[in-house]
Amino acid sequence: MRYVIVGSSAAGIAAVEAIRRSDERGSVTVVSDEPSPLYSRCLLSYYLAGTIDASGLAYRSSEFFGEMRVDARLSTKAESVDVSRQVLVCERGAEIPYDQLLIATGASAKIPRSIPAVKGVFVLRTIADAVAIRATAESAHHAVVLGGGLIGMKAAFGLSKRGLHVTVIVRSRYVLSQMIDADAARIVMDGLREHGISVLTGADVAGTDVRDGRLIGVTLEPPAEGGGSLPCDILIVAKGVQANCGLVEGTGIECHAGIVTDSTQRTNIENVFAAGDVAETLDAATGERSVNALWTCAVQQGKTAGFNMAGRERRYDGSLGMNSINFPGADLISFGVTNPPADSDYEVLVDRRVDQGVYKKLVLRENRVKGLILVNRIDAAGVLLSLLRSRADVSGFEDALLSDRFSYAQILALGGRTEWNRYRTASNPIGSG
């Protein structure tokens, strides 16, 4: 069997491991346009801040490909797929035949047209991006982060840690608007400001000021107070990502927000799979199809794809928008539905303790957990996530769900033994054994 994997991040590496657990003899080829894979993108902001060095980014050893008997084609760009001939076409016309193909090409940062590619403008997606930002930060004083999502927030703290004056510019009313609500965001933004990070909401970058080919400032919309531009040596664009679907254009492989997959991570072509930030899967909380560009989802999807490619049937029970971040003054976890429409049939439970900086929000539907936000009291997150995953009926103990002492033991005390057993089944790692 000839296995070919395009992409060497979380999904691709998880697939390699699953394949090798099932097939020791088949040939495995990994194609990556990066020269140095096997690092964790989740840790890039810590590298940017200087709290870890490059070696701290590694999540597999440098011997991984050798130990797994993988033909690693690094610094190699995959150009197209010929599904009729079962061939991956790479740059300069090189062809790699396959019996089973996994597309794990990830996603790319969205960059507004108003922002030119000049020195000082960055995204934070790869180790090369982080290295370049760190080098520029050595002589920089002012940084602007455009976008208030998770990547933007982590980048802002990383640059602040290096001593730069950082301004976060957010088009929406508050930061992290895709994962929390306004009440939780207020705690986060207070923490940002207390640590010297400015936050401008309801604003955007309308253009850049460039001198001698280098960024020196940004102009805002609406204009900055007093007119003129905001000084800026570094601009990090963190306006979200889009799935890298270019490889399948013209192939007949179905692609919407991402490459459409079923519960085995197959596409509409039998021997072509997709996983990670490029894959569109079922959302476990909403029941709708979406791309959840998260490391944990990528690992689970890659593992599921790898087992199925090697003939061991596994099912992926859906992705889940799940995020956690540790800010000074704000430990935060959210997952699932966090901002349900006001006129919907969702039920919302809230515990708001302003004086303690504590905020909890639980979203239910038909007596089942569909999402939550926890700020500064996050111990019960694992239990609540398990209840969501297992689709447990929480009737009879809804009021206990937001207690600081809520635990598995409390579920049992409240008569939830059946739900505990369902949790244990649902929490089995996908593809284990």
In a domain, 64, yes or no: yes
| 55 and 40 part of one domain | yes
Going by pLDDT thresholds of 50, 70 and 90, the confidence category of residue 127 is: very high
| 178 and 249 part of one domain | no
Domain termination site, one of 239, 264, 298? 239
| 260 and 353 part of one domain | no
| 344 and 414 part of one domain | yes
Question: Which one-letter amino acid corresponds to residue 105?
Answer: T
> Which residue segment(s) compose the domain that 49 sits in?
2-108+242-309
The pLDDT, as a whole number, for residue 420 is 44
| 14 and 45 part of one domain | yes
| 346 and 415 part of one domain | yes
| 235 and 128 part of one domain | yes
| 214 and 65 part of one domain | no
In a domain, 300, yes or no: yes
The pLDDT, as a whole number, for residue 411 is 65
Going by pLDDT thresholds of 50, 70 and 90, the confidence category of residue 413 is: low
CA distances from 185 to 32, 180, 193, 333 (A): 37, 7, 12, 12
Going by pLDDT thresholds of 50, 70 and 90, the confidence category of residue 430 is: very low
pLDDT at 428 over 50: no
| 269 and 370 part of one domain | no
3-state secondary structure of 107: strand
DSSP element (H, E) containing 2: strand 2-6
Domain termination site, one of 309, 342, 361? 309
| 252 and 297 part of one domain | yes
- Per-residue HEC secondary structure of 357-395 comes to CEEEEEEEECCEEEEEEEECCCCCHHHHHHHHHCCCCCC
pLDDT in tens, 40-94: 999 999 999 999 999 999 999 999 999 999 999 999 999 999 999 999 999 988 9
The pLDDT, as a whole number, for residue 322 is 84
pLDDT in tens, 371-390: 999 999 898 888 888 888 88
| pTM of the predicted protein model | 0.88
| 136 and 174 part of one domain | yes
CATH label of the domain that carries residue 359: 3.30.390.30
pLDDT in tens, 317-365: 888 888 888 877 788 999 999 999 888 899 999 999 988 889 999 999 9
pLDDT in tens, 185-225: 998 898 888 889 999 999 999 999 999 989 999 999 887 66
When divided into structural domains, the chain yields a total of 3
Count Cβ atoms below 10 Å from residue 366 Cβ, excluding itself: 11
The pLDDT, as a whole number, for residue 424 is 45
* Eight-state DSSP code of residue 251: T
Going by pLDDT thresholds of 50, 70 and 90, the confidence category of residue 414 is: low
| 152 and 235 part of one domain | yes
Domain termination site, one of 189, 204, 239? 239
pLDDT at 21 over 70: yes
CATH label of the domain that carries residue 206: 3.50.50.60
pLDDT, averaged across the chain? 90
Rounded to whole angstroms, the Cα distance separating 242 from 258 reads: 8
